[in-house]
Amino acid sequence: MNIMTLQCNVIPTIGSFLNTAVPQEILNSISSVASTNVSLPPNIAEFIEAGRQKFINDIINPLKETLGIVRKKINIQLDDANTIRPLTSLEDLINPPPVMILPIVTFKPIRKLLEEGRIDGYGINPQYLPEEDVYDRLINNGKVDDILNSLLPKKNKETDETEYYIIHRNVITSEDPDLTFEELDAIEETREFLLEVLRTTQVDPTNPSKMRG
């Protein structure tokens, strides 16, 4: 068996690919251009940079701004979902913030209905509720219901005149929830609405789609 070896050191020319009898001078010129790196205009870099900046300004930045607004709104909604705030409509009571459930079910009139099994109470077993309505105590800390009848006389030794003062009491324990005055006002406003619902309707405040038992 004879093996033939062919060695070729000749690189095909453009003319051989084109299969044409173009003068050699022209073919050499084409070959020279084809094998030479293309030189871009000197201002092409500025043109590309200007296009990139326009894309960023017209597309990327507005998109980032929009995403930032959406993210902020989502965060606000998430924060509102578990914030102590006034609940002053039946819609508010359907799905209250979790942090508002305990102030609702420990409210004396609501708790009584829950213990009697007349309301859903958001599925809470009244046996596990704390004995004290701490929110009521914190709301009423320092309040004086009847100022006139609470006035106490005291003789001023310097002027020999009778002056009046009021004794009010604030009870705070280390186990009390850390609430601001605004949050206590929100709980009080919510409880006032609960009383209105109990007084004017037969709706279960903890499940407004049902009537009280």
Say what the pLDDT of residue 7 is.
44
Walk along the chain (213 residues) and give the pLDDT tens digit of each residue: 444 444 444 444 444 444 555 556 655 655 555 444 545 555 666 767 777 777 778 877 777 677 666 555 555 445 557 899 999 999 999 999 999 999 999 999 999 999 999 999 999 999 999 999 999 999 988 666 665 665 567 777 777 777 765 565 677 788 889 999 999 999 999 999 999 999 999 999 999 999 998
Q: How far apart are CA 176 and CA 193, in angstroms?
A: 24
Q: How far apart are CA 142 and CA 124, in angstroms?
A: 31
DSSP per residue over the chain, as a string?
Answer: ----------PPPHHHHHTS---HHHHHHHHHHHTSPPPPPTTHHHHHHHHHHHHIIIIIHHHHHHHHHHHHHHHHHHHHTT------SHHHHHS--HHHHHHHHTSHHHHHHHHTT-S-GGG--GGGS-SS-HHHHHHHTT--S-HHHH-EEEE-TTT--EEEE--------TTS----HHHHHHHHHHHHHHHHHHHH--EETTEEEEE--
Q: How far apart are CA 125 and CA 141, in angstroms?
A: 28
Q: Which residues contact 114 (CB under 8 A, 6 or more apart)?
A: 105, 121, 124, 126, 206
